[in-house]
Structure 1
Amino acid sequence: MKSGRAKRGQARSGQARAGASPAAEPRWLVPFVLGCLFLLSLLPLLSLARAGFAGLVSGQSIGVLTEPATFAAIRNTLLTASGGMVVSVAIGALFAFAVGLTDVRGKLAFSFAFMLPMMIPPQVTALAWVEMTGPASPLLKTLGIAPPLGSPQPLYSLAGISLLLGVQHAPLVFLALKSGLSASPRDGVEAARLAGATPFRVFRDIVAPLSAPGLIAGAAIAFVSGVGNFGIPAILGIPAGIEVLPTLIYTRLASFGAGTFGEIALLSSLIAVIAAAELMLQQRALAGRDYRIIGLSGANAAFSLGHLRLTVELLLVAILFFVLVAPLAALIASSLVPAYGVPLNFQTVSLRAYEEILFRQSMTLKAFGNSMFLATTAALGLLAVSVPAAYLMTRRRGLLANLLGILIEIPYALPGIVLAVAFILTFAAPLPVLNVSLYGTIWIILIAYFSSFLAVSLKPVMSAFLQMDPSLEEAARLAGAGFLRRMRDVILPLVAPAAGAAIILVFLIAANELTVSALLWSAGTQTLGVAIFNLDDSGSSDLAAALSVLVVVMVMLLMAALEALAKYLPEGVLPWRN
């Protein structure tokens, strides 16, 4: 009798350590999560593949693949993405090595400031740099160093697009490389130093080889992000007649005609193929190499810079000044002058642009309302999917968890322009039974946001579930609590800080999004990103600058709010924290 009780106790104890059993889950949980992921991930991709295949079979759209404009767009896409990758690796690696390996001061401040370009919308980055350079720059005119009138704008070029893609995506390289540097073997570095190795020899023989995975991964992510970026090539490339694949898709959709859906499906497939090829090259570069680390790791592996520390710190500050402070200062200066090209002084300073944006411009007020609605609804609504998905992925290991992970990561990994086309093809026709079309409404943008940002919402929640002891929930289950009661009284209170971080992160990204909404918006559904692009495109640079400044202020306040919550959040949730 005692032996039977002991065995049952051991079984229950083992079950508590492993997590909740499938019997502890309600029957609707797995179908609910899989159904949501089918709608948000698999169905749009199937629609994209079907439209592209139909266009090839019918021959109606295949001509787009042989047009000179397509070849030019492919060439420009590869050139700008590759150039941007080189810039991203150069800047991101420098900051990662300095913050992750050396004894520079103010590491948190450097990381926080360096992450800002990634959080700022790409069209705002492009607009800020345009306002900072060229003969009509109010900032340069105020300083008396503006180029002569009639001089070309240097950023309206392939090199300019590459430079700004590099600045925008350098934080991605920084994040990928910094996580690997934190695991540098402390005892191996100390042993090499005791053996008389110079710091350069230690870096070359120990740190650099172990940094290769993060560096390769960061470079691949920067390239793929550059391939799918719409905001920067749109602001800089369209005025110069330079088209990349995302802007080519945008112009094809704007000039809607016979076979348009098939054409944009094929062009989107080209972007997906380029992105997939780069990721395959990344895997091939890492194949056959063993990067496992044996020994202790940690901050003690940092290099002491000695008398060079101040020089390195000043170099980092100078880079942040040119990639962040100066462009934002130019943006602010442009928002305070009455017309483009007027120098800023006490006689010309004006708040008219802000008055127009905040009180008179119905278009911008509508865009602000749409973005707040979309960002808030996406941030809150995604918890209804990310919490059950994280629960299943941590409690059910194996095939189901892998399938859920793939379905969640695919939309996030795809370029936004490809995802937007997939949703156009999915919801262009009226919905079955309801006979209602979502295309041209704000709801198609919301569903696309759900798909695109689910991975962003999942990461903090997943981290909280992994750090939570499953025996707490198991004890509640054995006491008779049902799933919803356990979720309400045990699980949600424990994951609440991470859920709050997920809400702010999704809101931060969704409120400024452009690439997805650029193809999905229509009259009355424009977002802040679309409004900034349209204002600049129509020549209202002062209004575009004012709206961009307000967006940057909102981004900084939200990031500051996340930083204030840092001590309540699981490790790894805030990307700028070491």
Structure 2
Amino acid sequence: MPTTKRSLPISLEDRVNIGRFVPLRDRGLHALLGGLTFYLIVITGWPLGRLLAEVFFSIKDNPSFIKEVLTAPASARAFRNTAEAAFWASALSVLVGTLGALLVTLTDIRLKRLLSFLILLPMLIPSQITALAWKMMVDFISKPGSPNPLYSREGVILVLGIEHSTLVFLSVRASLQGLPWDLVEAARVLGARPLRIIRTVILPLIAPGILAGFALSFVAGIGNFGVPALLGIPGRFPVLTTLIYRKLNGFGPSVLGETAILSLALMGLAGLGLSLRAFASRRVSVAVIKTQSIRSLFPLGVHRLPVEGGMFLLFLSISLLPLIALAATSFVPAVGVLLTPDTFTLGNYRAGLSQDAVVRAFSVSLKLSTITALVCVGVSIPLAYCAVIRKVPLSHSLVLLADAPYAIPGIVVSISMILAFLKPLPLVGSLYGTAGILFIAYASRFLSLALMPTLAGAEQFDRHLEEAASMAGARTFRRLRTVVFPSVLPSAFSGGLLVFMAALNEITVSSLLWSAGNETIGVMIYAMHYEGNSPQAAAISMISVLIVVAIALTISKLGKSLPEGVIPWRG
């Protein structure tokens, strides 16, 4: 009998052209790309496009409308305050973050892990809880009846600067770990003292990292809503995020055109910061040859004890002390009452958790955070597969689209979602005022958090495994499910935990999208504080902080088996 020769699928190596894998007749891959493209257009492309269209339609009949909005006294003042607060807060972040990175990375200071935890603690705490904690701390040390000094321009700058110093710390520490240490060693051999080496050799080399940290802090500052809302509104220090919030809360959809223009102004400021970061990133040194361990590059000698004492006192004061004040407030019957055995009470926890709105807010936030994390992980794995393992050119554009909502201010994401889903859509109707619009906004906003670790995990994947499965006849979806998914899942899971942690206490996006019956934890804390229920707000905040810290510890435990770069605070 004549034998029938069965042709094997084309191997990956036969499809590689100048380092790029070009899919040929791969219907599964095309279907996967089509699904990813449709998903990202729905949750990101369409809302952002709708925002631009709203601006266009607003000026179509009145070309001077943009000028009228931006030159209005309230807008001009908010724009100036936003840029000013973000700039000075970023400068403070650079001072605190760079100092911490230099001492932790270059000296023989003891308890480095504990000090790093204190430095990075503000990164784990939501902005509205950070602002509330600082407000409580200053209330404790202020004279009774005196106004809180944090309700001011300086208060907003101080808290923003402390909160975002972690971004500078991470950026500068990464630059220090990538330095060409032979230059530093040469300076030491020539007799240069440590301070001179830092000033003339190390600081110029890590300047791009410092600049990148400044840019990241600036972008985070202009998009921050929690701190300006809790400290700036009472202090009559409006910024663009709070101006947009108050306009929409006061006038509703009738001012969508105006708020869309203000959102573009906010995006313009964010664009400046991102451009500065890109400029700095292109100048980061890639020489990573280390001539010695950097753990004790500059021994402190007799100065070690006072330096350690000063550093721990500084970071205990700015990271842990506000949380202690927040916890103390949650255990007293009223603001201003000192915590003693006689005044200690759990009444705030009982009263807060007995409210239907609070219980509902926890339920909504936990459900939204869980579903968002699962969906983001489910999208990140195939997207990383296309971008890193299969190297499909289109997938790189999809990665940029997925990163966009996290790079721009959250209030802009809220406006774009309102514009996209306010009017009824076929089959689903209007999503505005439902949990659906919150989910879409979260899925769009936090996809980048799950994608970054997943991309890092995919970089470690052995492509020969996928090639072997292809040669054995496994189609795209089967290879993705049985070969790629198990290998990349640990990194993707850690990204999902980051998404859960960020979404649980989110307030910037939720502030404009929540509705009765769909309150979130962040919104409830903000509302309770402004209703005068600060002790109950502190109690709910402490529960949220404990949840976040527990998740962070879980991620840290997983970090031992994950690739470098997956966990932001892992050094």
Fold match by TM threshold 0.5: yes
Contact 2:85/2:157 (<8 A) preserved: yes
Q: Give secondary structure in 2 for the equivalent of 1:108.
A: helix
AA aligned to 1:548 is S
Q: Does 1:429 align with 2:429?
A: no
Counterpart Cα distance in 1 of 2:516 and 2:288: 59
Which residue matches 1:50?
Answer: 53
Pairs within 5 Å for 1:182-201 = 182-201=177-196
User: Bigger CA drift: 273-282 or 26-35?
Assistant: 273-282
Pairs within 5 Å for 1:196-275 = 196-256=191-251, 259-275=254-270
Q: Give secondary structure in 2 for the equivalent of 1:524.
A: coil
Counterpart Cα distance in 2 of 1:500 and 1:11: 30
Counterpart Cα distance in 2 of 1:182 and 1:223: 23
Contact 1:335/1:545 (<8 A) preserved: yes
AA aligned to 1:240 is G
What is the CA distance between 1:364 and its match in structure 2? 0.7
Which residue matches 1:312?
Answer: 307
What is the CA distance between 1:19 and its match in structure 2? 8.3
User: Bigger CA drift: 236-245 or 104-113?
Assistant: 104-113
What is the CA distance between 1:277 and its match in structure 2? 2.3
Which residue matches 1:513?
Answer: 506
* Distance of aligned partners of 1:504 and 1:283 in 2 relative to their CA distance in 1, 3 Å threshold: closer
Contact 2:179/2:288 (<8 A) preserved: no
* Distance of aligned partners of 1:184 and 1:291 in 2 relative to their CA distance in 1, 3 Å threshold: closer
Q: Does 1:374 align with 2:377?
A: no
Counterpart Cα distance in 1 of 2:474 and 2:216: 44
TM-score (norm 2): 0.93
CA distances 1:95-151 after superposition (whole Å, capped 9, x unpaired) = 1111222222232322233222112110000101111113xx3xxxxxxxx433332
Contact 2:69/2:258 (<8 A) preserved: yes
Q: Which of 255, 268, 271 is 1:276 aligned to?
A: 271
* Distance of aligned partners of 1:22 and 1:202 in 2 relative to their CA distance in 1, 3 Å threshold: same
Which residue matches 1:383?
Answer: 377
Contact 2:86/2:221 (<8 A) preserved: yes
What is the CA distance between 1:193 and its match in structure 2? 1.5
Counterpart Cα distance in 1 of 2:58 and 2:485: 48
CA distances 1:206-237 after superposition (whole Å, capped 9, x unpaired) = 21111111110110110111111000000011
Contact 2:175/2:209 (<8 A) preserved: yes
Contact 2:168/2:213 (<8 A) preserved: yes
Counterpart Cα distance in 2 of 1:204 and 1:179: 18
What is the CA distance between 1:317 and its match in structure 2? 1.0
Q: Does 1:470 align with 2:470?
A: no
What is the CA distance between 1:398 and its match in structure 2? 7.0
Counterpart Cα distance in 1 of 2:473 and 2:11: 18
Q: Does 1:126 align with 2:131?
A: yes
Percent identity over paired residues: 42
Q: Does 1:148 align with 2:135?
A: no
Counterpart Cα distance in 2 of 1:356 and 1:481: 58
RMSD: 2.3
Q: Give secondary structure in 1 for the equivalent of 2:294.
A: helix
Q: Does 1:34 align with 2:28?
A: no
Contact 1:81/1:162 (<8 A) preserved: yes
Counterpart Cα distance in 1 of 2:531 and 2:377: 38
Q: Does 1:564 align with 2:565?
A: no
CA distances 1:65-103 after superposition (whole Å, capped 9, x unpaired) = 232111111121122111211111111111111122222
User: Bigger CA drift: 361-370 or 298-307?
Assistant: 298-307
Q: Which of 143, 166, 171 is 2:161 aligned to?
A: 166
Counterpart Cα distance in 2 of 1:541 and 1:473: 56
Counterpart Cα distance in 2 of 1:537 and 1:529: 13
Which residue matches 1:5?
Answer: none
Which residue matches 1:392?
Answer: 386
What is the CA distance between 1:526 and its match in structure 2? 1.1
Counterpart Cα distance in 2 of 1:76 and 1:503: 35
Contact 1:61/1:259 (<8 A) preserved: no
What is the CA distance between 1:21 and its match in structure 2? 5.3
User: Bigger CA drift: 296-305 or 542-551?
Assistant: 296-305
Which residue matches 1:107?
Answer: 112
Counterpart Cα distance in 2 of 1:435 and 1:500: 31
Q: Give secondary structure in 2 for the equivalent of 1:28.
A: helix
Q: Give secondary structure in 2 for the equivalent of 1:148.
A: coil
Counterpart Cα distance in 2 of 1:41 and 1:35: 10
Q: Give secondary structure in 2 for the equivalent of 1:133.
A: helix
AA aligned to 1:275 is A
Gaps of 5+ in 1: 1-7, 138-145
Which residue matches 1:503?
Answer: 496
Counterpart Cα distance in 2 of 1:525 and 1:102: 50
Counterpart Cα distance in 2 of 1:525 and 1:298: 56
Contact 1:188/1:295 (<8 A) preserved: no
User: Bigger CA drift: 321-330 or 100-109?
Assistant: 100-109
AA aligned to 2:556 is E
CA distances 1:377-418 after superposition (whole Å, capped 9, x unpaired) = 000011221111101111344742431232122111001011
Which residue matches 1:445?
Answer: 438
Contact 1:180/1:211 (<8 A) preserved: yes
CA distances 1:278-322 after superposition (whole Å, capped 9, x unpaired) = 3334556777x6845374367437322222222332222112211
* Distance of aligned partners of 1:286 and 1:331 in 2 relative to their CA distance in 1, 3 Å threshold: closer
What is the CA distance between 1:488 and its match in structure 2? 2.5
Counterpart Cα distance in 1 of 2:349 and 2:502: 23
Gaps of 5+ in 2: 1-7
AA aligned to 2:69 is V
Contact 2:171/2:209 (<8 A) preserved: yes
User: Bigger CA drift: 258-267 or 520-529?
Assistant: 258-267
Contact 2:326/2:538 (<8 A) preserved: yes
Contact 2:457/2:566 (<8 A) preserved: no
Which residue matches 2:405?
Answer: 411
Pairs within 5 Å for 1:469-488 = 469-488=462-481
* Distance of aligned partners of 1:149 and 1:201 in 2 relative to their CA distance in 1, 3 Å threshold: closer
Which residue matches 2:567?
Answer: 574
